[in-house]
Amino acid sequence: MHRVQFHYTLSRDAGDALIRNPLLDTLQAVAQHGSISAAARSLALSYRHVWGALKRWEDELGGELIIWGKGQSAQLSEFGTKLLWAERQAQARLAPQIEALRADLERAFAVAFDDRSHVLTLYASHDDALSVLRAHAAAHASAAPASGGDDAAGHAAGGGLHLDIRFTGSVDAIRALNEGRCTIAGFHTLEQPAADSLAARTYQPLLQPGLHKVIGFARRTQGLIVARGNPLGLQSLADVARTGARFIHRPIGTGTRVLLGDLLTQAGLQPGDIDAAGSGRIEPSHGALAQAIASGAADAGMGIELAARARGLDFVPLVHECYHLACLKSSLEQPATRALRELLQTPAWQERMAAMPGYAPMRCGEVLSMSRVLPWWNFPAARRRRVPSAGAQ
């Protein structure tokens, strides 16, 4: 049995959260470039080094990884292809846990390197823009003036901002906020969710006027992630039902699953109508869902455009939604929360978000009217219930 070992490095470059493996990076490069020499150049390594490493790995793993003939391009063997896809799928599925592990380590080092740093714990529905924001905050902290003056946005009280982000479902994120396990919760809804929608029934018991505040973050596009070229010609959920396409779900309790429920109701469909193939497959994140489709294990799933584009897949937009950040009113003016709000309002961050496929800034960092963004609330008649006392900090 082959065993896995891990190591990590410290650097100013936040990079991505993937656990790097030189064998899989080499296989990916060969698959992309079609030759060992081109793969070596893309990896900034010599041909001899890459060729020798591949031979050593073949001996170690007991199987042929690369197939090539005279005058032909190099290709991955069936074993090499399976190895690459299996590793990429595992990485995609474990991305939230890998992110959480890195967050724990970065949080520890943030305090060690700068005891003035603000550590903000954020539980959130999976969102790629938040991962980019964490890296942006880290880079901003390194570049900001140490004085913490007026020109150091996002550095209230003179310290940097470290985002300790834990990805979970929208429902679990808000529950974590109410139980005092985080300061910020990320969730998303349709731009104008109806009063009788599944979103209203799901979030209304969890978010209370006068106790919670909503901070603007992003407008993003959700739709069908499909194989390159959209071979089944899917343009709607009705098409998924009609064709019997293999559909992947997100877990119950995620904002995307809630959104899907509302879209199915609008289309006059039942959940079972879009799972005619009976796969019952569930993936924990947009990235894992897209990776499964890229591997050919499924035909379609509901997700964000960025996850599709990152894996060379097609995307059929279905709806625009708002991604919000919620906090308790009592924490709105705390230094860490103010640092986040200031960072979100900087032109640099808003330009960075606007460059991401399927995203646009949506009143970033502004405190929003709950009755406008969650219009099911009828404030004169709303019954203001208290959440568990652990959340009232």
pLDDT tens digits for 339-355?
999 999 999 999 999 99
Least confident among 104-108, 204-208, 216-220, 381-385: 381-385
Residue 39, both tokens: 């793969």
Least confident among 76-90, 115-129, 379-393: 379-393
Answer yes or no: are the C-beta atoms of 274 and 240 closer than 8 Å. yes
Judged against a pLDDT cut of 90, whether residue 279 lies above it is answered with no
Least confident among 99-103, 126-130, 386-390: 386-390
75-76/66-67 β-pairing: antiparallel
Q: What was the pLDDT predicted at 346? A: 96
Judged against a pLDDT cut of 70, whether residue 273 lies above it is answered with yes
Least confident among 8-12, 68-72, 175-179, 315-319: 8-12
Answer yes or no: are the C-beta atoms of 128 and 306 closer than 8 Å. yes
Phi and psi at residue 6, to the nearest 5°:
-120, 150
Phi and psi at residue 190, to the nearest 5°:
-55, 160
Q: What was the pLDDT predicted at 377? A: 74
272 vs 91, higher pLDDT? 272
Judged against a pLDDT cut of 60, whether residue 13 lies above it is answered with no
Q: Where are the domains of the chain?
A: 22-76, 77-393
- Give 37-42 contacts, CB < 8 A, sequence gap 24+: 39/74
- The mean predicted confidence, pLDDT, of the chain is 84
If one counts every other C-beta atom within 10 angstroms of the C-beta of residue 53, the result is 15
Q: What is the pLDDT of residues 291-319, one digit of tens each?
A: 899 989 899 999 999 999 999 999 999 99
CA distance 28 to 9: 22
pTM above 0.85? no
CA distance 30 to 49: 14
CA distance 119 to 195: 36
Return the H-helix or E-strand segment holding 31.
helix 22-33
Q: What was the pLDDT predicted at 330? A: 95
Residue 31, both tokens: 């698959």
Answer yes or no: are the C-beta atoms of 324 and 189 closer than 8 Å. yes
CA distance 54 to 83: 13
Task: Characterise 363 by phi-psi region: left (phi > 0), alpha (psi -120 to 50), beta (else).
Answer: left
Judged against a pLDDT cut of 70, whether residue 389 lies above it is answered with no
Q: What was the pLDDT predicted at 69? A: 66
CA distance 305 to 126: 13
Q: What is the pLDDT of residues 240-255, one digit of tens each?
A: 999 999 999 999 999 9
Q: What was the pLDDT predicted at 149? A: 42
Specify the fold of 22-76: Arc Repressor Mutant, subunit A (1.10.10)
- The total number of residues written for the chain in this structure: 393
Specify the fold of 77-393: D-Maltodextrin-Binding Protein; domain 2 (3.40.190)
Judging by beta carbons within 10 Å of its beta carbon (0-12, 13-18, 19+), is residue 244 exposed, middle or buried? Answer: middle
Task: Identify the DSSP state of 149.
Answer: -
Q: What was the pLDDT predicted at 8? A: 63
Q: What is the pLDDT of residues 104-133, one digit of tens each?
A: 676 667 666 666 678 899 999 989 899 899
DSSP 43-98: TT--HHHHHHHHHHHHHHHTS--EE--TTS--EE-HHHHHHHHHHHHHHHHHHHHH
Judged against a pLDDT cut of 80, whether residue 92 lies above it is answered with no
**78-113 vs 22-33: helix crossing angle, rounded to 10:** 130
Return the H-helix or E-strand segment holding 113.
helix 78-113
CA distance 353 to 359: 6
Residue 24 DSSP SS3: helix
Least confident among 28-42, 48-62, 110-124: 110-124
